[in-house]
Structure 1
Amino acid sequence: MTGPTTTGSAATAPDRQVYTGTPVVPGTVYAPVVRPGPRPGPGPQFDPEMPESDRAAEQERFIAAADVVADRLSARAAAAGGVAAEVLAADAAMARDRGWRREVSKRIGTGSAATTAVDAATGVFEAMFTKVGGMMAERITDLRDVRDRVVAQLRGEPEPGVPVPDVPSVLCADDLAPADTAGLDPALVVGLATSLGGPTSHTAIIARQLGIPSVVAVSGLDDLPAGTMVLLDAAAGRIETDPVPEVAAAAAAQWRRAAAGAAAWSGPGRTADGHRVEVLANVADGSAAVAAAATPAAGVGLFRTELCFLGRTTEPSVAEQAEVYAAVFEPFADRKVVVRTLDAGSDKPLAFTGHTAEANPALGVRGLRIAFDDNGILDRQLDAIALAAGRTGSRPWVMAPMIATPAEAAWFAERVRVRDLVPGVMIEVPAAALLADRILAHVDFVSLGTNDLAQYTMAADRLSADLAPLNDPWQPAVLALVAATARAGAAAGKPVGVCGEAAADPLLACVLAGLGVTSLSCAAGAVGAVGAGLARVSFEQCAAAAEVALAAADPAQGRAAAMALLG
């Protein structure tokens, strides 16, 4: 990360500040800064011991407050759809978490007031998540948000969160809890910048779903006061304070014209000279699938099936799962649907799998690895997918996450084919990219999950703000693995897609096409921008942009060089 710098060019007056961060969602806006309201303050420094006669009532008061918060988050999950629904459902499950509630209740039982007990118990779990590290680290932001909401409920204070601005504004914050991000109105919050987070954090993923121009990991952002007029160039990861109004307004207007062109794009996915690249949508449930089906997306490139399992203490039945899957297949009955089998573990632990805590869960038993200990979970999920496919007349493509070896790919493909489904795997582990030719001998397609691929390639926790530049999908090393996988796919005559967040960047989408990727799957809100971006350039331009991005010394250089070639 780099801090703010002063500028003094002809376009800007002296002493104007420029802040830089990691681009997430492209877009250019000119608007005032707005900041979240204060979270609940700390309780009294000295909390007298509560009389034993009052403790039972205090326990009940805490349980009631936690239930209210959990119910609110569940209701928002039901209304949100897509990734936002998945994240909000996980937060609701956190508010109901038995371990956290037991820790709070234990402290109330020894005489602490409920608010003090909630804060102290949350501190215990924060320390636990910090020690575990990896993807569990992001849950600290979620946990603190649940704590603040419960404390506010206990105190009778308004629910904390982001205020609704009076005019279109750029929201600047340390970080945002998923509940806050999912509730943003893109008509009023027209830009987003955070000090923390990375390009694959919950905040970034939901912002991408909403189509809000966003930059994360911005150093020095805390010094930017509310009310400051800023020009946010999210594609470049740049925030300029108090720019020349006419220049800033013209830049924002130019972006709005480009956005209007993206909104008018109707498919199919192809470059200006006719080279086909499928543009698909990422979905998490039936409501998100209905919304995605209304876009020009050629189908679903990533159906995250975790929503069916999150918050469950017991495994959902085959019938329950089939109902969820059918709700996604139906809107795309005549189009391609790629289903990812259960991607649990790490930051999405499931109580019924029986796995204990791991020292480094991001490198532990997650994804398909859960099935190696209990293949019944996988087999029942595949049975449910096949049942839903038969019910809707679909033949979905099914891929497994966290494949590392050709033998694993073969083991999974056999289980998929016996159910008359199309087998594929995720390429998220560098070993799988390096052996993509051998893996493709066993499956019919592969899809690159660039979020985890970047994390594992760069040995950088993808949720660390300090390491966000390393997790930039423009990293030449990451692009080199994408290129190697695409070459293997071309040699085998089999499709190679990208379903990670990288596919939602219209500029990078052109580079990926130039590397030989055959499909791009992104948030439904990004489909038009990605399709329109491809339609404006030739495949020759894409290939040239891919070449300079691969040869670049760093992401910024690669992004700038590609932009110069593609316009």
Structure 2
Amino acid sequence: MTATSSLSSQSASRPDPGTVLQGVPVVAGVAYAPVIRPGRLPEVDVSGLPEVAEGDRAAEGERFTAAAATVAGRLRDRAAHATGAASEVLAATATLAQDRGWLGAAEKRIKEGAPAARAVNGAIDQFVEMFTKLGGLMAERVTDLRDIRDRVIAELNGLPEPGVPLPDSPSVLCAEDLAPADTAGLDPAVIVALATTLGGPTSHTAIIARQLGIPCVVAVHGLDDVPAGTTVLVDGTLGTVTVTPDESAAQDAVAEAARVAAAAADWSGPGATADGHQVAVLANVQDGAAARAARETPAEGVGLFRTELCFLNTDAEPTVDEQAQIYGEVLEAFAGRKVVIRTLDAGSDKPLKFAGHPDEANPALGVRGIRIAENNPGLLHHQLDAIAAAAEKSGEQPWVMAPMIATAQEAESFAAQARSRGLTPGVMIEVPAAALLAERILEHVDFLSIGTNDLAQYTMAADRMSAELATLTDPWQPAVLALVAMTVRAGAAVGKPVGVCGEAAADPLLACVLTGLGVTSLSAAAAAVQGVGAKLAQVTLQQCREAADAVLGTASAAEARAAALAVLG
């Protein structure tokens, strides 16, 4: 086995000109350009490397440790210079590069005589198999593990890091899958679209594509057969990749998309339909830098402040003062505006070093989100204290919500703790049980925010990172939207707001459908704010309601999208 075995080989069966490959749309827009593909790690036949003499094994172990530390350091450095989602996923990958599990497995092999490169390959294979069997969000880390493997082996052999080439002209980046280190540093001026064979609507590739604001289609069947240099048309609204399309038709499609983008760029808020029905358009942020960048858009506030970043990068729980400073930066960036802070959503694929996470057979259904507080109550108490301190210092009044709420009792307990600190409490609706019992949950909290990423995963019983199941975890699934409608009705009945902060809110067409269902706010990546706001401004509330009714009457995500397009254009 070589270090490059995980990278797809291109088939000799090149698609005919005009072939339309179907995938799952992630970021709307159209791009027409030649394909580029990530650079591969030069062939390193690790199986043919000689055994290490017993007297040299300690030095070989040190060489491995240094290489792994170098790779982790580079990833941390990239995370420090990135913002928002890019920073978060790079930091998580850097943490994985220093994970004692696979490092220990590699060290054990070296002590038994395996050369470092072969030890790395074997250890990563072991954990890839383990993570694949676990499924759920752990399976997402397989791409990250293989990326770490390739980088460490390259470092051991004095080779350049594998990754995405920097093209001289606009290009479409196509790959089997893309690791965070590949996608986080992309320049949208030259990488004009992304398409992958694997991945889902909430994969790292999708999340960073939204942050960059470039068209993206994932789970594209047949994409591996498209060689570099082939000109393609990527349609992030329809979810298609057209191979060697008619040039005139492709240029017309790009021109129309540019016209739509220009209209979006002129939109300056506030969020409302063409007939004046107000729907707040907010931004999702991860830290102060991302909040300041979002403040440059027409975003009316922050609908989701993910607080994981200040926990995931540390070996110990950050102090109340340290947390308060981070929260204060976001409150300051949006002074006088709505800011919704989500409490720690760790666990599963985002373990905390200091929380004592148990080994779980199915982490996606395990101890994550609010459930961490069961055995670590201090984490939640300290975080709420820090939010309250930041609020007092800034003079702002943030809203605070808990993730992974499944019962009314959990909502009641969280609300009591938040209110005791003068905070406005709400909860995330990500679990179908919470949507079904939204009326009872609203007896205890002041607002709800629907996280469509997890709601789709749990409703459809489908791993949201699986390319094979990407059509099931599409937020356009009628079953998912039926739960959204049920939740919104519960909020309307008692006059309490219900927003959407999942990635569904970044889709301009779906945002209109959500508005028709009665959602009161939409929170998306900052790069998506103008597109969502501009689309809303072009349609009436009645059109949104008609589209919502049409969508709820369909039987599949594809039918739902087509029904909305028929009403809204």
Shorter-chain TM-score tier: over 0.9
Q: 1:214 is matched with which residue: 213, 216, 230?
A: 216
Q: 1:453 is matched with which residue: 452, 455, 458?
A: 455
In structure 2, the partner of 1:515 is 517
In structure 1, the partner of 2:392 is 390
- Establish whether residue 106 from structure 1 lines up as the match of residue 108 from structure 2: yes
In structure 2, the partner of 1:69 is 71
Q: Write the mapping of 1:87-166 to structure 2, written as runs, cut at 5 A.
A: 87-166=89-168
Q: Deviations over 1:422-463 (max 9, x none)?
A: 100000011110111111111000000000000011111111
Instruction: Note the aligned Cα RMSD (angstroms).
Output: 1.5
Contact 2:17 2:245 in 1 (8 A): no
Q: How far apart are the structure 2 equivalents of 1:40 and 1:25? A: 32
Q: How far apart are the structure 1 equivalents of 2:163 and 2:127? A: 22
In structure 2, the partner of 1:342 is 344
In structure 2, the partner of 1:265 is 267
Q: How far apart are the structure 1 equivalents of 2:331 and 2:313? A: 23
Q: Write the mapping of 1:103-502 to structure 2, written as runs, cut at 5 A.
A: 103-502=105-504
Shift of 1:486: 0.7
Identity %: 67
Distance change (3 Å), C-alpha of 1:164 and 1:433: same
Q: How far apart are the structure 2 equivalents of 1:323 and 1:551? A: 48
Q: What TM-score, normalized by structure 2, do the two folds share?
A: 0.96
Shift of 1:373: 2.1
In structure 2, the partner of 1:9 is none
Which amino acid counterpart does residue 376 of structure 1 have in structure 2?
Answer: G
Shift of 1:326: 1.2
- Runs of at least 5 residues in structure 1 that lack an aligned partner in the other structure: 7-12
Which amino acid counterpart does residue 455 of structure 1 have in structure 2?
Answer: Q
Shift of 1:40: 4.3
Shift of 1:538: 0.6
Q: What TM-score, normalized by structure 1, do the two folds share?
A: 0.96
Q: How far apart are the structure 2 equivalents of 1:69 and 1:88? A: 12
Contact 1:40 1:151 in 2 (8 A): no
In structure 2, the partner of 1:554 is 556
Q: How far apart are the structure 2 equivalents of 1:138 and 1:15? A: 33
Contact 2:304 2:342 in 1 (8 A): yes
Show structure 1 runs of 4+ deviating over 6 A.
Answer: none
Shift of 1:114: 1.1
Contact 1:270 1:276 in 2 (8 A): yes
SS of residue matched to 2:318:
coil
SS of residue matched to 1:442:
coil
Q: Deviations over 1:179-234 (max 9, x none)?
A: 10111111111011100000011111111111110000011111111111111111
Which amino acid counterpart does residue 271 of structure 2 have in structure 1?
Answer: G
Contact 2:210 2:527 in 1 (8 A): yes
Shift of 1:280: 0.4
SS of residue matched to 1:296:
coil
SS of residue matched to 1:352:
coil
Contact 2:47 2:118 in 1 (8 A): no
Q: How far apart are the structure 2 equivalents of 1:129 and 1:244? A: 43
Q: How far apart are the structure 1 equivalents of 2:286 and 2:416? A: 25
Which amino acid counterpart does residue 82 of structure 1 have in structure 2?
Answer: G
Shift of 1:39: 2.8
Contact 1:309 1:315 in 2 (8 A): yes
Distance change (3 Å), C-alpha of 1:520 and 1:236: same
Distance change (3 Å), C-alpha of 1:189 and 1:15: closer
In structure 2, the partner of 1:10 is none
Shift of 1:333: 1.4
Contact 1:40 1:148 in 2 (8 A): no
Contact 2:435 2:486 in 1 (8 A): yes
Contact 2:41 2:161 in 1 (8 A): no
Q: How far apart are the structure 2 equivalents of 1:331 and 1:14? A: 51
Q: How far apart are the structure 1 equivalents of 2:531 and 2:431? A: 28
